[in-house]
Amino acid sequence: MSAAGQSSLMPVEEALRRLLERADATPVQGRETVILAQADGRVLAQPLIAPLDLPPWPNSAMDGYALCLTDWQGTPLPVSQRIQAGEAPPALQPGTCARIFTGAPLPAGADTVEMQENVTLEADGRVCFAAPLRAGQNVRPQGQETRVGDCVLPAGTRLGPIELGLAASLGQAQLEVCRRVRVAVLSTGDELVEPGEPLAAGQIYNSNRRLLIAWLQRLGCEVVDGGILADDLAKTRAALAALNDVDLILSTGGVSVGEADFLGVALREAGELMLWKLAIKPGKPLTFGQFRGVPVIGLPGNPASTLVTFGLLARPYLLRRMGVQRVEPLGVELPAGFTWSKAGQRREYLRARLEGGQVVPYANQSSGVLRSAAWAEGLAEVREGTTLEPGERLRFIPLSELLG
Ligand code: AMP
Ligand code: MG
């Protein structure tokens, strides 16, 4: 690997830091209470504090026999009761044991469970414990998982199947969540038409709109579909002005250097414009600013650039505005299954998949080729100024980390 060269481009970390700083300063206000069935994908607005112990009472981890350990002196014990899950047993009679099943409450007086495979039954039904017993074995004590008052999930937790299961285990029928973030999606470009329309000469179908809307919905956002915006300053102004009740305007296209940048002009006139040249490939140009107080992110228009910049920058920004603290995707270090001989100034995110435990990039890494990402399982990060030989490790970010 060689050292990173000098570059006037903004490092990805720096762009992310600035975006998150802004997101922290403008958290989305408002909460609502939703039933668990509607809470998947939402963000917890206040900590979930355990209202009960889990388990609420000591219970058996095995199908077997419950006893008080000191009652076992080598003489077989008679079975005085049978306890199944869902029952509330009376106290254990001294000098006896109880037939017990997994999840059933331990009767008062019992402190130990032996699994049924380790006992022998006398002809008269009394139980002989063969193996040495340890007090408390196979017993799940009250509060083993959670105690009343524990903070089980902090505010800002994104709720998924696991969190919902946990909330249910604590008897929560509903949860207080942050209101959905409203995001307007604008696709800029005179060349764009929607699927279903005929394609005239010079036109292409709008892929970013569908890509972003579906993705935003997965992130739990409420989407305002701004449709296609012509490359025209007056229309750009009007479109931005109409989107005054959203938390973010997300546009694609029209931010390439050298192009008449109508979004930039409109932001400069009536808000704030930061035009960043990022050390990222694909996706160098990124616009960040606000129009009459509404934050705006302008992503580059090439679909693979849209994908990478949304996933690595806009997604964490949005999550942070929802109050989520851990917003960066997990990456794993994996061996390269390719050679990278030219150290670049920009950090490259190759659309790649795993083959035989190695990271293999799609053959065509052009920023216009969305098919690369459909083939891929993740983004392979080739840091600025580095070369790679097969077997050298690089960070691989599974797409599943970004898409949800
Ligand atoms: P721009 O940033 O507007 O110069 O666009 C860069 C490239 O991305 C051009 O080839 C555009 O045609 C293409 N592009 C821009 N927006 C979209 C879109 N919504 N869907 C598909 N391609 C797009
Ligand atoms: Mg354009």
CATH number at residue 112: 2.170.190.11
- Tell me which residue has tokens 């254990």: 92
Distance 367 CA to ligand 2 centre (A): 14
- Tell me which residue has tokens 């959670």: 146
- If asked whether residues 132 and 207 sit together in one domain, one would say no
pLDDT of residue 255: 78
- If asked whether residues 253 and 292 sit together in one domain, one would say yes
CB of residue 260 inside a 6 A radius of ligand 1: no
CATH number at 283 reads 3.40.980.10
Distance 363 CA to ligand 2 centre (A): 26
Tell me how far apart the alpha carbons of residues 314 and 216 are, in angstroms, rounded to a whole number. Answer: 10
Q: Which ligand is nearest to the CA of 203?
A: 1
- pLDDT, mean of residues 99-118: 98
Q: Is the pLDDT of residue 381 over 90?
A: yes
CATH number at 352 reads 2.40.340.10
CB of residue 256 inside a 6 A radius of ligand 1: yes
- If asked whether residues 174 and 188 sit together in one domain, one would say no
Where does a domain end: 295, 321, 347?
Answer: 321
CB of residue 192 inside a 6 A radius of ligand 1: yes
Residues 6+ apart with CB under 8 A from 125: 78, 79
Q: Choose the residue to mutate in 188, 190, 192 for probing ligand 1, maximizing ligand atoms within 8 Å of C-beta.
A: 192
**Number of domains the chain is built from:** 4
HSE of 343, CA atoms in CB hemisphere, 13 A: 11
Q: Is the pLDDT of residue 246 over 70?
A: yes
- If asked whether residues 190 and 296 sit together in one domain, one would say yes
- If asked whether residues 74 and 165 sit together in one domain, one would say no
CB of residue 194 inside a 6 A radius of ligand 1: no
Distance 277 CA to ligand 2 centre (A): 17
pLDDT one-digit tens code per residue, 222-238: 999 999 999 999 999 99
Backbone region of residue 112 per phi and psi (left: phi > 0; alpha: psi in -120 to 50; beta: other values): beta
- If asked whether residues 233 and 291 sit together in one domain, one would say yes
pTM (predicted TM-score): 0.94
- pLDDT, mean of residues 196-216: 98
Among protein residues, the one whose CA lies closest to atom 10 of ligand 1: 302
CB of residue 303 inside a 6 A radius of ligand 1: yes
CB of residue 187 inside a 6 A radius of ligand 1: yes
pLDDT of residue 131: 87
130 class by beta-carbon count within 10 Å (0-12 exposed, 13-18 middle, 19+ buried): exposed
3-state SS, one letter per residue, for the chain: CCCCCCCCCECHHHHHHHHHHHHHHCCCCCEEEEEHHHCCCCEECCCEECCCCECCCCEECCCEEEECHHHCCCCCECEEEEECCCCCCCCCCCCCEEEECCCCECCCCCCEEEEHHHEEECCCCCEEECCCCCCCCCEECCCCCECCCCEEECCCCECCHHHHHHHHHCCCCEEEEECCCEEEEEEECCCEECCCCCCCCCCEECCHHHHHHHHHHHCCCEEEEEEEECCCHHHHHHHHHHCCCCCEEEEECCCCCCCCCHHHHHHHHHEEEEEEEECEECCCEEEEEEECCEEEEEECCCHHHHHHHHHHHHHHHHHHHCCCCCCCCCCEEEEECCCECCCCCCEEEEEEEEECCEEEECCCCCCCCCHHHHHCCEEEEECCCCCECCCCEEEEEEHHHHHC
- If asked whether residues 49 and 174 sit together in one domain, one would say yes
- If asked whether residues 83 and 208 sit together in one domain, one would say no
Q: What percent of the chain has pLDDT over 90?
A: 96
- If asked whether residues 49 and 64 sit together in one domain, one would say no
- If asked whether residues 12 and 74 sit together in one domain, one would say no
Distance 254 CA to ligand 2 centre (A): 4
Residue 96 near residue 90, CB atoms below 8 Å: no
Ligand 1 atom at shortest distance from the alpha carbon of 206:
20
Ligand 1 atom at shortest distance from the alpha carbon of 259:
4
Domain that holds residue 372: 332-403
- If asked whether residues 295 and 280 sit together in one domain, one would say yes
Q: Is the pLDDT of residue 1 over 60?
A: no
Q: Is the pLDDT of residue 4 over 90?
A: no
pLDDT one-digit tens code per residue, 333-353: 999 999 999 999 999 999 999
**327 falls within a domain:** no
Tell me how far apart the alpha carbons of residues 34 and 155 are, in angstroms, rounded to a whole number. Answer: 15
Q: Which ligand is nearest to the CA of 285?
A: 1
Where does a domain end: 89, 123, 140?
Answer: 140
Tell me how far apart the alpha carbons of residues 91 and 78 are, in angstroms, rounded to a whole number. Answer: 15
**326 falls within a domain:** no
**44 falls within a domain:** yes
- If asked whether residues 192 and 258 sit together in one domain, one would say yes
Q: Is the pLDDT of residue 2 over 80?
A: no
Q: Choose the residue to mutate in 186, 204, 308, 370 for probing ligand 1, maximizing ligand atoms within 8 Å of C-beta.
A: 204
CATH number at 44 reads 3.90.105.10
Q: Is the pLDDT of residue 177 over 80?
A: yes
**79 falls within a domain:** yes
Distance 301 CA to ligand 2 centre (A): 6
